[in-house]
Structure 1
Amino acid sequence: MNRPSISRLCWAAAAAGTGLLGLTLVLFGVIALPTASAAGGATSPSTNVPTANAATTALTTAQIQAQNKIAVDTMNEQAMQPKILSDGTKEFDFTASTFQWALYPGKSEEAWGVNQQVPGPVIRVKVGDKVKFVVHNDLPEPTTIHWHGLAVPNDMDGVPDMPEPPISPGGSFTYEFTVTQQMVGTHWYHSHYDDDLQVDSGMNGVIIVDPADSSEQPHYDVDALFALGATKVDGVDAEDVFTIDGKAYPYAPELTVNQGQTVLLRLVNTSGESYHAMTLDGYTLRIVAEDGQPLPDPQSVSVVSIAPSETVDVAFTADQPGDWLFHDTIESNLTNPDDTKDAMGGAETVIHVK
């Protein structure tokens, strides 16, 4: 059985205020890890580069709770509803803009994202759909949308000047294509202009493509999405906040499943620079697809290594009741900068098996 390190379990026990008893209960999946209270954050007005400072009243508790609900909806794959045009085309309206986004208690950043959320809206389409994405750019610099892993026409690919120029501030562009069989699976979209800044600031999202006939894909009782992200706060050069569905622990959404259910986790590395190496304590995971492509011989692993831009689908049967940590195994990805109240942070959450 895979369990957290003793040092990390001690952090959990201390945070729970239960000492050695808490350590034992967390170790055997009896109790969940604590959830901190909400707080806001601030941004630097002197630069366009997203930064974050100590807690302020920039975001109210209600706003933070609403943003955390967006993260839960992302995990649950609540997809954006398109406008259906007269010819059956599915039209999605995207607006790229800057906004304040809460990362964890006491820390927020000036995010750059789609439709005021990080990551952007989940898009779910199926083979044969004609789709149109109308993108409005309210950012302070040009941007694009690249459909990572989708073989779209070259002028719809979102690579600046190949051949289409990027979308200027205040401008708009419409991406149009027909969903093909090649596109089936878990993929993502992201800016391809000033990638290092814009992707880490939130200009990305997940697109899930289903086959035209749903019977062509395996059935799972639970289908959940964990977008693994990273961003830079306090003006640093390297990524220093690591997130799940746009939130660092303890704001990262928690998944609850019933004992005996089969579970599919769609893992997407939206980090611009960093690897993630994810594990679910107490469980072995089966890698069933990589970059949207099903594996003919699924691999059983304890740790799933995901490079930037990769997607990996993993599956397990929830046969061990308890509250289990789902977390990065890279130690530097498990703390929150300037957080003196909680030693745990970053890319981790809890999966509850009831």
Structure 2
Amino acid sequence: MMEQLLIACMLLLFTWMIIKTIKQISSLHIYEPHAWKQKIDRVVIGCLLMTVLASWLITTSSMPTASADRMPDMPDMDASTTGTTTSMSTASSTDSSSTASTGADFNLTDTAMKQQNQSAVRLMNEQALSPTILPDGTKQFVLNASTFTWSLYPGKVMEGWGFNGGIPGSLIRVTVGDQVDIVVNNHLDEPMTVHWHGLQVPNAMDGVPGMPNPAIQPNGSFDYKFTVTKQMVGTHWYHSHYDDDFQVDAGMYGAIIVDDQPATQANQSTTATPASPSYDVDKLFMLGATKVDGADPENVFTINGKAYPYTPQMDIQKGQRVLLRLVNASAEDYHAITLDGYTLTIVAEDGQPLPDPQQVSVVSIAPSETLDVAFTATRAGDWWFHSTIASELSNPDDTADNMGGMMTLVHVK
């Protein structure tokens, strides 16, 4: 619209110049050839300039813009953990029986974006995927791999690759002694696998392509079956082991928590979990990264699939003992995390309890590593939980907010 208005103004100005020049020429005498030549030269130069500018504006206004991964800003939402939660709703245009979306249509409603943000809150609160109990007692979980539209932060969406329509995928929670059958359906256009990082499963169930099983082909499926053992207790994660750098950063990962003993009616009614009976609060933060706008290095940094201000915020009461399960799901980058105002104690690494817990102000976590850290909420207030690496604290192309990336707030009341 602006380009069209400029073109119209230029044409009016050009017409006015021609009329004025004709009037001036008509007032000249035939014996003034030098003056005639000056006027004609001005008209010619004016015509050339107007033609060049008009052509440039018309060409610019008709060029397509690279806006496939952009969308209008949406209002900030309350990511508080208080109140009731709803069942997970995805923005995918596909279901388990359909083919994957192409990602060509990146339209998302505000409602869909808020539902995706709430999925990050539910993951923080460790709301796990419900299994189907088979006749022999086996716990069967279903993971559907597909593409879908995923909102990262205000004004930015991407074509996500993930499990069950979310980034990260569904949390799987099992207990020592469980017989597990995890059915993985591939609705992608390329092969994929699932590797159970940190779990000593049979070689045929390890999800490494060709060792010995081939990758799961498009429209194919595979059942990962294993028995949960004592070695598996703790915080772990699963991810695709095919085209890792791309598929993991695109969202093909999720968390798996193994408890040492089954939940009881007593601890189901509190925020404590079977794996952490000495803690009042048990939360999960998956630290991820992705690439947008054609970047080669990772340039968007997330917590539970969201960059600030869409990251999930945590509410706790003063005096509570808190366990934070941290998973570095980035394909490439280390992260250095801190909680302002607090010293954190590393109590477990890759699911294994540390015999000598370490107190640190900054938690350094390598790609694929998991760390359990603990603290007691002794100081009331709003505290930033964030990366200490400057490049991980902003969002590409986000002109509305200088703060972004791998950060969120912990509210101690």
| Residues 325 and 348, structure 1, Cα contact 8 Å, conserved in 2 | yes
Task: Output one character per residue of 1:9-68: Cα deviation in whole Å (capped at 9) or x when no partner.
Answer: xxxxxxxxxxxxxxxxxxxxxxxxxx97259x9xxxxxx9x999xxx9711000000000
Match of 1:223, as an amino acid? D
What's the CA shift string for 1:256-308, capped at 9, x where partnerless?
Answer: 00000000000000000011100000000000000000011111100000000
Residue 147 of structure 1 is matched in structure 2 by: 196
- Pick one of 186, 204, 207 that aligns with 2:235: 186
Kindly provide the amino acid, as one letter, of the partner of residue 252 in structure 1. T
Alignment counterpart, residue 294 of structure 1, candidates 320, 332, 353? 353
Q: Which among 306, 310, 318 is matched to residue 365 of structure 2?
A: 306
- The answer as to whether partners of 1:38 and 1:106 remain within 8 angstroms in 2 is no
* Among candidates 304, 316, 326, match of residue 385 of structure 2: 326
Q: Which runs of 5+ in 1 are unaligned?
A: 1-34, 42-47
| Structure 1 residue aligned with 2:412 | 353
Does structure 2 retain, via aligned residues, the 8 Å contact 1:80–1:121? yes
The AA in structure 2 aligned to 1:110 is: E
TM-score by length of 2: 0.72
Count of matched residue positions in the alignment of Structure 1 and Structure 2: 309
- For 1:156-235, list aligned pairs within 5 A: 156-212=205-261, 217-235=276-294
Among the aligned pairs, what percent are the same residue? 65
Q: Determine helix, strand or coil for the equivalent of 2:249.
A: helix
- The whole-number CA distance in structure 1 between the counterparts of 2:292 and 2:353 is 36
Q: Distance in 2 between matches of 1:197 and 1:285?
A: 32
1:158-185 Cα distance to aligned partner (Å, 9 max, x none): 0000000000001010000000000000
Alpha carbons 2:327, 2:371 under 8 Å: kept? yes
Matched, 1:67 2:105: no
* 1:110 alignment partner, SS class: strand
The aligned counterpart of 1:98 is 147
CA RMSD of aligned residues (A): 2.1
Question: Aligned pair 1:58/2:107, yes or no?
Answer: yes
Q: Distance in 1 between matches of 2:407 and 2:401?
A: 13
Question: Cα gap change, 1:252/1:217 in structure 2, threshold over 3 Å: closer, same or farther?
Answer: closer
Partner of 1:283: 342
Q: What runs of 5+ residues in structure 2 fail to find an aligned partner?
A: 1-72, 78-90, 92-99, 264-273
- Maintained 8 Å contact 2:276/2:282: no
Q: 1:263 aligns with which of 302, 322, 327?
A: 322
What is the CA deviation profile of residues 58-106 of structure 1, one whole-angstrom value per residue up to 9, with x for unaligned ones? 1100000000010000000000000010111000011000000000000
Residue identity opposite 1:192 in structure 2:
H
SS of 2:292's equivalent? Answer: coil
Richer in helix (by share): 2
Q: Secondary structure at the match of 2:327?
A: strand
Counterparts of 2:193 and 2:219 in 1: how far apart (Å)? 13
Q: Relative to structure 1, is the Cα distance of residues 333 and 80 closer, same or farther in structure 2, using a 3 angstrom cutoff? A: same
CA deviation vs aligned residue, 1:237-270 (integer Å, no higher than 9, x gap): 1100000000000000000000000000000000
CA drift at 1:212: 2.5
**Out of 307, 313, 330, which is 1:248 matched to?**
307
Q: Which amino acid aligns with 1:113?
A: G
TM-score, normalised with respect to structure 1: 0.84
Q: Which has the higher contact order (CA 8 A, sep 6+)?
A: 1
